[in-house]
A and B are shown apart, each in its own frame.
Chain A
Amino acid sequence: MTTTARRPGDNDFTIRIANVNGTGSASANSTLMKSLFRMGIPVSGKNFFPSNIQGLPTWYEIRVSGDGYVARSGRVDLMVAMNAETYRKDHADVAPGGYLVYDSTWPRSALFNRTDIHVLGVPLSRICNENFPTARARVLMKNIMYVGVLAALLDLDRDVIAALLKEQFAAKASLLEANQKALDLGYAYARENFSCPLPFRARTLGRTAGHIMIDGNTTAALGCLFAGATVGAWYPITPSTSLMDGFRKFCEKWRKDPETGKANFCIVQAEDELAAAGMVMGAGWNGARAFTPTSGPGISLMGEILGYAYYAEIPMVLFDVQRCGPSTGMPTRTQQADLMACAYASHGDTRHVLLFPSSPEEAFYAAVQAFDLAERLQTPVIVLTDLDIGMNDWMCRDLQWDDAYRPDRGKVLTAEQIEALPKFQRYVDADGDGIAARTLPGTHPKGGFFTRGSGHNQFGGYTEDSAEYREVVDRLLRKWDTAKTLVPKPVVETSERCRTGFLTIGSCDDAVREARDRLAAGGVPLDYLRVKGFPFGREVQEYLDSHDRVYVVEQNRDAQLRSLLLLETRTTQDKLVPVLHYDGLPLTAGFVIDAVNADLARGKAA
């Protein structure tokens, strides 16, 4: 436990459910989470699952926080131990004073011997066997039965749960009946045998109106749908797969032409990531908004095409849903360790525009922005999320869409504009922003040109002439300066006199904010900046200039964000204090607080 551990209270506790992968627990867990959400209490649901389809341990963690802190809490107040294989670990992980619920059909009092926690045995299997006839129901109904037990222990609103079950099994009356029965059985057993509710419990609150519970792959897919992406190419990889699954599902429903029945989208399952990137680039060359979702290993493979698209100036959008590296690493664990790989992906002087959404909500807007930026800047844009954002359930404000939005297709010449030109010259920077106008294939005979990744001059012709080569790559740097003014600005929260602050990125947001509040409450106020895009703009430089000590919080071992700051701004090593979390689990506020306190203690000792 961290030194900053706190006691649970009403609407302030964490439940962890230990399951076996593939036993149908997911829907029960989601029912539990959603019932809390519908009671108006801020909540988050994080799934810790193995890289396996069936049989290995999996955990689902629900943090309930009336105050709205939904980062991983790093503690377990109520454990539901449904997997005998992990009993020992699950028992050990319960915070002192906490509770453990398990299936006591097979009593394990010798194993569960801690005296500082409460062990609540519920004979789930026995009750199921007595009440359900089929083998399958007996396994499945155990899940919803523990939800019933928790409903009693935490005083959940049973009408809310019943409504959720009704929605879920609207089409299957028999299943609804069985689930409701299992829920009631669990509830009744707990009421009879334990003193309910527990000292910490759920209390109806009004804090979730105008919010949804959603994961970031789904919102990114929605962003692609609304941004008008028409071509998607991909090769399956955890944790990005559900992004394309989501896009396909949304397109099937909302992109089928009502008159012709035609699909106004084209999704290609590529043979590998080299091909996926090539397809996206080909579609971008031809004027479509195209994207590919991937993860670290895919980024490694896409390098050559990314360099080509940078140099030949072709828009394309990538989503890197980061997972734990290096190499195959831990595919079902989260990290932010592809920052450097993405920023400079490919050989030669190559650099890429990156976006760093912090939540599913931001992932939606970042997706739309990525297409605008890619077309405006004629270059690849990589949206970096991570497994935590991409696959976990987050409470987000309702996504908004402005019907007046029109895509920024950038400097693409129309047939009329080409016709009016004396001669089309692909890489001539007419207005000094580093961006030259392009033409799309088939538009106009005068617009034809030959796109190449080999040395070219400003007219698009092949060159090996030093001056002509430099003309183009120097202009690309001017374009980079333009990019600095176009990528989203950082979130900055400063106070007059504060000279110490956080600087963080992406999904660290919630944990760092919670840490900041708690540190401030303890008399240590800190400023806050979260980068939302790369290249870093003026605001990042100013923040670094105006602070003496900056805690750079990120989820990788090698301080990659800190390295980027050192490379791309004029800040100095000594004032950037790395706070690095890289065990594959999402960051907690406790970790950040401990790191800051340790640094402050070192400062005092020195």
Chain B
Amino acid sequence: MSYIAKPKVAHPQLPKNDLGFTVRDYEGAMSTLCAGCGHDSITSAIIQAAFEQSIPPHRLAKMSGIGCSSKTPAYFASASHGINTVHGRMPAVATGANAANPDLYYVGVSGDGDSLSIGLGQFLHAVRRNLNMVYVLENNGVYGLTKGQFSASADLGSKAKKGETNQQPPIDPVQTLVSLGATFVARSFSGDKEQLVPLIRAALAHRGFAFIDVISPCVTFNDHEGSTKSYTFTRKHAHVAMYADYVAPAKEIRAEYAAGAAMPVTLHDGSRIVLRKADGAYDPTDQAAAFSYLTKATAAGEIPTGLLYLKTGRPDMHELANTPDVPLATMAWEKVCPGSATLGKIQDRFR
């Protein structure tokens, strides 16, 4: 790109990334969410990750549906384009946007209502297409914006603020996506920035659908006793199954990773994720094993976190469609219009 954003004037001591931007250049408008809402912590993790990843802010395309969570793209990267679509339909809009221009970093933010209820179909079909995007599901077990109804991710037996008990089993997006063979499936906690930032960086570097389920407590409607998506409950039950360290393309893998349980995986841009097993039994590149581990851990009341399943090399939507790397949206006219002589030729078949 010939046009690069001028970094915002900031404190001279603020660290700069490879492009000369400070973290402030990745910030957005003031959040209007409740104080203490988990979604705001995720926003700051996205800001940090995009900064560390040195992505030109205007090369991000922010996509969301409807909900408190879906409002958050307004709160980061104000130099980039964003689209707050309709409830549950962000995956389709992201698919079309991506079809038109593969050359942007698509970051989708959604909620558990947006992705697992009204938008479950579109969400799974985006996975199936292996759409090249980061998809962050800010999971609080409730519909925050419509004031606290249970969502499809509410756990069996979990209690609503007003006292009623959820009687239907949850849709676990992580298990669902592993079963579908999604290419990058992770889970984290809004309160664990140390885990979340490298996961988002790895997701940005991954080519294909990179999904991160982030447990994100709703302080207003789902942070009480009896909730399984509260800060207290999550802190107690979250269980790191897999550490994922992100290593930028140029950097060497440190020797200690190469030994023992560490497993470096190279991504298409040359960067690497080094997976370290927290639990000896777990292999995040084996779909059947991962699925079996996740179902068992979940049944035992644990919330497995980390990069839980990774498959590199599966073609994304564009590779399957054999489209060029340059955006179709702005393709040269001579390449898209076949011209009058061709129209004549085509018509000869209809005489």
A interface residue numbers (CB < 8 A to B): 37-38, 211-214, 218, 222, 225-228, 230-231, 233, 250, 254-255, 257, 260-268, 270-272, 274-288, 290, 304-305, 308, 312, 398-403, 405-407, 415, 419, 439-454, 462
Which chain B residue has the least Cβ–Cβ distance from A38?
A: B351
**Which residues from chain B contact A415 at a C-beta distance below 8 Å?**
2-3
**A451 and B83 in contact, given A282-B97, A440-B329 (Cβ under 8 angstroms):** yes
Residues of A within 8 A of B99 (CB): 231, 233, 266, 268, 279, 282-283, 288, 290
Size band of the interface chain B makes with A:
35 or more
> A448 touching B80 by the CB < 8 A rule?
yes
By a CB distance below 8 angstroms, the chain A residues around B79 are 445-446, 448
- Do B93 and A279 have beta carbons less than 8 Å apart? yes
List of B residues within 8 angstroms of A271 by Cβ? 121-122, 125
Stretch at the interface among B174-182, B194-202, B211-219, B341-349: B341-349
Contact with A along B278-322 (1 / 0, CB 8 A): 000000000000000000000000000000000000000110011
Q: Which among B227-235, B267-275, B332-340 touches the partner chain?
A: B332-340
Check B335–A264 contact: CB distance below 8 A: yes
Q: Chain A residue with minimal CB distance to B343?
A: A401
Give bound CA distance, A268 to B92, whole Å: 10
Given contacts A278-B96, A280-B96, contact A264 B83 (CB under 8 A): no
CB-based contact B328/A288 at 8 Å: yes
A228-B337, A282-B95 given as contacts; is B86 within 8 A of A260 (CB)? no
19 contacts between A and B (CB under 8 A): A38-B351, A212-B350, A225-B338, A231-B328, A264-B335, A265-B323, A265-B336, A266-B323, A278-B86, A282-B99, A283-B96, A286-B327, A288-B329, A308-B86, A400-B340, A401-B339, A442-B1, A445-B3, A450-B81
Report the nearest A residue to B58, measured CB to CB: A445
CA–CA, A524 and B195, complex, Å: 83
Residues of B within 8 A of A254 (CB): 338, 342
Q: Which residues of A contact B340 (CB under 8 A)?
A: 400-403
Contact in complex: A282, B94 (CB < 8 Å) = yes
Alpha-carbon gap, A288 to B321, bound state (A): 16
Cβ–Cβ < 8 Å partners of A225 in chain B:
337-338
Task: For residue A44, give the distance in angstroms from its CB to the closest CB of chain B.
Answer: 14
B80 x A305 contact (CB < 8 A): no
**How far apart are B83's CB and chain A's nearest CB, in angstroms?**
4
Given contacts A254-B338, A442-B101, A445-B5, list 14 more A-B pairs with CB under 8 A. A260-B324, A263-B322, A277-B92, A278-B93, A282-B95, A282-B99, A286-B96, A286-B101, A287-B329, A308-B85, A401-B340, A401-B343, A444-B3, A453-B84
The reply to whether A228 and B336 contact each other, CB–CB distance below 8 Å, is: yes
Partner of B93, one of A38, A212, A272, A285: A285
Q: Nearest Cβ distance between residue B256 and chain A, in whole angstroms?
A: 39
B38 in contact (CB, < 8 A): no
- B13 at the A interface (CB under 8 A): no
Q: How far is the CA of A234 from the CA of B86 in the complex (A)?
A: 19
Q: Are B84 and A268 in contact (CB under 8 A)?
A: no
Q: Is the CB of B100 within 8 A of A264?
A: no
**A316 nearest CB neighbor, chain B only:** B96
Q: Identify the interface centre among B5, B80, B318, B346: most chain A CB within 10 Å of its CB.
A: B346
In the complex, what distance in Å separates the CA atom of A190 from the CA atom of B263? 82
Closest beta carbon of chain A to B293's beta carbon, Å? 30
Q: Which 3 A-B pairs have the closest CB atoms?
A: A282-B96, A278-B92, A445-B5
B61 at the A interface (CB under 8 A): yes
- Do B321 and A263 touch across chains, with their CB atoms under 8 A apart? yes
Taking a contact as CB atoms under 8 Å apart, the answer to whether B122 and A448 are in contact is no
Query: Contact between A398 and B84 (Cβ–Cβ < 8 Å)?
Result: no
Q: Does B73 contact A (CB under 8 A)?
A: yes
Least distance between A422 CB and chain B CB atoms (Å): 14
Tell me, yes or no, whether B103 is within 8 Å of chain A by CB.
yes
Given A257-B335, A278-B93, are A231 and B100 also a contact pair (CB < 8 Å)?
yes
How far is B335's CA from A257's CA once the two chains are assembled, in angstroms? 7
The B179-197 residues at the A interface (CB cut-off 8 A) are none
Interchain nearest-CB distance for A87 vs B (Å):
34
Cβ-closest chain B residue relative to A401: B340
B97 in contact with A230 (CB, 8 Å): no
Residues of B with C-beta under 8 A to A284: 96, 100
CB-defined contacts of B5 to chain A, threshold 8 Å: 445-446
- Number of residue pairs A-B, CB distance < 8 angstroms: 241
Asked if B100 contacts A287 (CB within 8 A), the reply is yes
Chain B residues with Cβ below 8 Å from A228 are 331, 333, 336-337
Known interface pairs A419-B3, A445-B79, A451-B84; A230-B331 also in contact (CB < 8 Å): yes
B residues 50-97 in Cβ contact with A at 8 Å: 56-59, 61-62, 73-74, 77-86, 89, 91-97
Q: Inside 8 A of A280's CB, which chain B residues have their CB?
A: 96
Q: Is B9 an interface residue (CB 8 A)?
A: no
Q: Which residues of B contact A212 (CB under 8 A)?
A: 347, 350-351
Complex-state Cα separation, A207 to B1, whole angstroms = 57
The answer on a CB contact under 8 Å between A282 and B104 is no
- Chain B residue nearest to A416 in the complex (CB): B3
Q: Does B96 lie within 8 Å of A450, measured CB to CB?
A: no
CB-CB under 8 A from B104, the residues of chain A are 441-442
Q: Please state if A262 and B100 are interface contacts (CB–CB under 8 Å).
A: no
Instruction: Tell me the complex Cα distance, A585–B145, Å.
Output: 49
* B336 and A230 contacting across the interface, CB-CB below 8 Å: yes
Q: Is B330 an interface residue when CB atoms closer than 8 A count as contact?
A: yes
- List B contacts of A270 (CB < 8 A): 92, 125
CB neighbours of B351 from chain A (8 A): 37-38, 211-213
**Is the C-beta of B14 less than 8 angstroms from some C-beta in chain A?**
no
A222 to B335, CA, bound (A): 15
Roughly how many angstroms separate A42 CA and B182 CA in the complex, as a whole number?
57
- Give the residues in chain B near A233, CB-CB below 8 Å: 92, 95-96, 99
For A406, list chain B residues within 8 Å (CB): 333
Determine if A274 and B122 form an interchain contact, defined as CB atoms under 8 angstroms apart.
Answer: yes
B4 at the binding interface (Cβ < 8 Å): yes
- Is A264 a contact partner of B328 (Cβ separation < 8 A)? yes
Tell me the bound Cα distance from A276 to B323 in angstroms: 19
Q: How far is the CA of A593 from the CA of B99 in the complex (A)?
A: 51
Q: Are the C-beta atoms of B81 and A449 separated by less than 8 Å?
A: yes
Given known A230-B331, A278-B92, contact A441–B81 (CB-CB < 8 A): yes
B336 near A264: Cβ-Cβ < 8 Å: yes
- B343: contacting residue among A222, A277, A451, CB under 8 A: A222
Contact of A451 with B82 at beta-carbon distance under 8 Å, contacts A398-B347, A445-B5 already known: yes
Contact of A230 among B58, B83, B100, B103 (CB under 8 A): B100
In contact, B93 and A287 (Cβ under 8 angstroms): no
Distance between B189 CB and nearest chain A CB, rounded to angstroms: 27
**Which of A38, A272, A287 touches B101 (beta carbons < 8 Å)?**
A287
Contact A285/B83 with A222-B346, A263-B323, A401-B343 known, Cβ cut-off 8 Å? yes
Q: How far is the CA of A466 from the CA of B333 in the complex (A)?
A: 43
Residue in A226, A276, A277, A453 whose CB lies within 8 Å of B337: A226
| C-alpha spacing A537/B61, complex, angstroms | 39
CA distance A441 to B100 in the complex (A): 11
- CA of A400 to CA of B59, assembled, Å: 40
| Contact (A441, B125) CB under 8 Å given A266-B328, A451-B82 | no
**Contacts known (A275-B89, A282-B92); A288 close to B101, Cβ less than 8 A:** yes
Closest to B336 in A: A228
Contact B329 A230 (CB under 8 A): yes
- The residues of B that contact A261 with a CB separation of less than 8 Å are 322
Contact status B328-A265, CB under 8 Å: yes
The interface residues of chain B lying within 8 Å CB-to-CB of A267 are 321
- Pairwise interchain contact B347-A282, C-beta atoms closer than 8 A: no
Q: For B323, what are the chain A residues with a Cβ–Cβ distance below 8 Å?
A: 262-266
B53 to chain A, nearest CB (A): 16
B2→A279 contact, CB < 8 A? no
Tell me the bound Cα distance from A422 to B198 in angstroms. Answer: 37
Name the distance in Å between B21's Cβ and chain A's nearest Cβ: 10
Q: Give bound CA distance, A399 to B86, whole Å.
A: 40
The answer to whether B100 touches A286 (Cβ under 8 A) is yes
Chain B residues whose CB sits within 8 angstroms of the CB of A308 once the complex forms? 85-86
B58 and A447 contacting across the interface, CB-CB below 8 Å: yes
Partner of A272, one of B98, B121, B339: B121
